[in-house]
Structures are given as C-alpha cells and as structure tokens.
Amino acid sequence: MCRRGRAAGSRTPRGRGGDGPRHTASAAAVDRYYARPMTKWEYATVPLLVHATKQILDTWGEDGWELVQVVPGPNNPEQLVAYLKREKQA
C-alpha cells in the first residue's frame, strides 16, 4: 500500500518530510549569482509640495529616480519629504 499517495518503491530523501525539494540550483548558477558586482545607488531627498506632489515625483521619475519612501519633514510634520534612489552611473 502506498503512503501519502507516493508510488510504491519511491523514497523520501533522508531527514526530509514530504517529497523532498522541488528544484535545486546548480553550482554554476550559484557562482553566477554571487559573481555579479554589487549595485551601487545614489540617493536624494526632495521636499514635496502638497499641490504639486505628482508633478514633482513624475519629474524625478523621468530622470530615473525611484521613490523609496515619503515621511513628514523634521521641522514641520505637515511638510512631506520624499526619499528617492537610482542606480549610480559608472
């Protein structure tokens, strides 16, 4: 009789439950992953005007900047500050 739907004679890898891992990465794939150079970023902080928030973010986005977070300003919680990042150009 089969246990948990497995075919007769099938084996579970030692020390693992279920049917074992679905896939494994080859050593070459792992080497390619770790051999990539680390991405370097540059950052910008931008004050946001409530009446022009979309226009400001669109302008920075066209220059390749990605919005990371928007937080209240340090001196005035009603003033918002956008934190942006983009990949540093070599």
Per-residue pLDDT of the chain (90 residues; tens, 9 = 90+): 545 555 555 555 555 555 555 666 677 776 666 777 889 999 999 999 989 999 999 999 999 999 999 999 999 988 999 999 999 987
Asked if 90 and 38 touch (Cβ cutoff 8 Å), the reply is: no
Sketch the domain layout of the chain as residue ranges.
Answer: 44-90
0.75 exceeded by pTM: no
pLDDT at 36: 76
First to last CA, the chain: 63
